[in-house]
Amino acid sequence: MRGAPHAEAEALQNTSDARGATLYVSLEPCVERTLGPPCAPALRAAGIARVVVGALDPNPTNAGRGVALLREAGVEVELAEDARARALVEDFSVSIAAERPYVRLKLAASLDGYVAPQPGSHWLTGDAARAYVRELRVAHDAVMVGAGTVRVDDPQLIVRPPYTRRTPYRRIVVCEDAPVPADSKIFAPVAGYAPTLALAPRGLRERFEPLAAVAELLFAGDDDARTLDLVAALRELKRVGITSVLCEGGPTLAARLLEHGHGSEWPCMNAHPWDALPGEWVPPWMVQRVTSTPAAHWV
Ligand SMILES: [Zn+2]
């Protein structure tokens, strides 16, 4: 988790004597940190004899530096460059390489392609899937929904039970050309959370003024933009330090993300209720087919 102690530091803290040990890490040990001491020098100082590294640091300015530092110190380093290790740090890799956060799109869809049993009801999936979503929220910097979801479902989007995060958790509402009500639950202050972000077109600043008292407004696009440029909006999120976002809908926002994504650009799509297979591609027809007809109730 961002801002938390790195796994190497935790491991050394839990070991009375690490001299001569072999350490297995998914990601190359770091050489520089803004919070806390860097890991590679700490491993060297602890007398670790051998380090097996799953993947190099995806940040081009740091890639290979941890491995080099350890080798220069006489530590044996084995570089696995394993696809599964790289998958573990995909959020981090994408946020470094792209001018936007890593976006994971979570959809609840029945096998016949419906995304909600009826307007205002979002319990298409069962308890296990909902518990998984709560875990997913914790693993991202922010959770994001469209204005329609706020107007219809009025979700709080909080994480239960409360998790301690070093970086405050964010809630985001994506507005197209009109603000959502200022008394929506998503704006209600929660201890330990940063103010909710409302994304809006830059040309409609005055229209969104009523939200300024309850939300942090982030305007995207040109000065005369009257509809939201989603790509510019995601860029704004990256600018304010958000590196990963869980998008929880609704269907309009999901469809726009897919439309802009050109497939593999959006690296991970989770389709419930198949118990969320990371990497599963959700075909666009699934998010475009929205209906008020009750669909199958999933457990
Ligand atoms: Zn580290």
Ligand 1 centroid to Cα of residue 196, in Å, is 30
**pLDDT score, position 246:** 87
pLDDT at 128 over 50: yes
| Exposure letters 62-100 (e unless 16+ CB within 10 A, then b) | eeebbbebbeeeebebeeeeeeebbbebbbbbbbbeeeb
**pLDDT score, position 97:** 79
pLDDT at 52 over 70: yes
How many Å apart are CA 269 and CA 279, to the nearest integer? 6
Residue 299 lies in a domain: no
Residue 284 lies in a domain: yes
Residues 174, 270, single domain; the answer is yes
How many Å apart are CA 295 and CA 293, to the nearest integer? 6
How many Å apart are CA 114 and CA 116, to the nearest integer? 6
Percent of the chain with pLDDT over 90: 45
Q: What positions carry a catalytic annotation?
A: 8
pLDDT at 191 over 50: yes
Give percent helix, percent strand, percent coil of the chain, each to the nearest 5. Answer: 30, 20, 50
Residue type, 69: L
> Would you state the torsion angle of the CA atoms of residues 57, 59, 60, 65, taken in this order, to the nearest 10 degrees?
-40
**pLDDT score, position 18:** 93
Average pLDDT for residues 178-198, to the nearest whole number?
Answer: 94
The CATH number of whichever domain residue 12 belongs to comes to 3.40.140.10
Residue 138 lies in a domain: yes
User: Alpha helix locations (H) across 113-224?
Assistant: 127-138, 147-153
Q: Which residue reads 């599963």 in tokens?
A: 280
**pLDDT score, position 260:** 66
pLDDT, tens digit, for every residue of 224-261? 999 999 889 999 999 998 988 888 877 788 778 777 65
Residue 2 lies in a domain: no
Ligand 1 centroid to Cα of residue 124, in Å, is 40
Comparing 65 with 110, which gets the higher pLDDT?
65
Ligand 1 centroid to Cα of residue 66, in Å, is 9
Tally DSSP H helices, then E strands, for the chain.
Answer: 10, 10
Comparing 129 with 57, which gets the higher pLDDT?
57
Residues 108, 218, single domain; the answer is yes
**141-145, 183-187, 259-263: lowest mean pLDDT where?**
259-263
Ligand 1 centroid to Cα of residue 39, in Å, is 4
- The confidence band for 43, taking pLDDT boundaries of 50, 70 and 90, is very high
Residue 128 lies in a domain: yes
> What is the domain range of residue 57?
7-88
Comparing 23 with 255, which gets the higher pLDDT?
23
Residue ending a domain, among 88, 109, 141, is: 88
pLDDT at 111 over 80: no
What tokens were used for 289?
């087919």
pLDDT at 114 over 70: no
Residues 155, 254, single domain; the answer is yes
Q: Residue 168 in contact with residue 198, Cβ under 8 Å?
A: no
Residues 143, 247, single domain; the answer is yes
Residues 81, 108, single domain; the answer is no
Percent of the chain with pLDDT over 70: 74
Write the DSSP symbol of residue 193: B
Residues 83, 142, single domain; the answer is no
Distance of CA 276 to the CA centre of its chain: 15
Ligand 1 centroid to Cα of residue 80, in Å, is 18
Residue ending a domain, among 66, 88, 110, is: 88
Q: Which residue reads 């470094």 in tokens?
A: 96
Residues 80, 223, single domain; the answer is no
Ligand 1 centroid to Cα of residue 144, in Å, is 29
Ligand 1 centroid to Cα of residue 209, in Å, is 42
Total domains, the chain: 2
Residues 172, 45, single domain; the answer is no
**pLDDT score, position 34:** 67
User: Alpha helix locations (H) across the chain?
Assistant: 7-13, 39-46, 65-72, 83-88, 90-97, 127-138, 147-153, 230-239, 251-261, 284-288
Comparing 75 with 193, which gets the higher pLDDT?
75
What tokens were used for 283?
């075909």
Q: Residue 172 in contact with residue 149, Cβ under 8 Å?
A: no
Ligand 1 centroid to Cα of residue 194, in Å, is 26
Give pTM, 2 decimals. 0.72
Residue 194 lies in a domain: yes
Average pLDDT for residues 209-222, to the nearest whole number?
Answer: 96
Ligand 1 centroid to Cα of residue 97, in Å, is 20
The CATH number of whichever domain residue 268 belongs to comes to 3.40.430.10
Ligand 1 centroid to Cα of residue 57, in Å, is 10
Q: Which residue reads 């220069």 in tokens?
A: 72
32: left (phi over 0), alpha (psi -120 to 50) or beta: beta
**139-153, 183-197, 255-269: lowest mean pLDDT where?**
255-269
**pLDDT score, position 130:** 65
- The confidence band for 103, taking pLDDT boundaries of 50, 70 and 90, is confident
pLDDT at 192 over 50: yes
Question: Residue 246: helix, strand or coil by DSSP?
Answer: strand
**pLDDT score, position 255:** 78
By C-alpha distance, which of 2, 27, 6, 29 is closest to 85?
A: 27
Q: Which residue reads 């964010």 in tokens?
A: 170
- Burial of residue 191 (number of CB atoms within 10 Å: 0-12, 13-18, 19+): exposed
Residues 232, 100, single domain; the answer is yes
**21-25, 37-41, 217-221, 269-273: lowest mean pLDDT where?**
269-273
By C-alpha distance, which of 217, 234, 204 is closest to 144?
A: 234
Comparing 266 with 257, which gets the higher pLDDT?
257
**pLDDT score, position 163:** 65
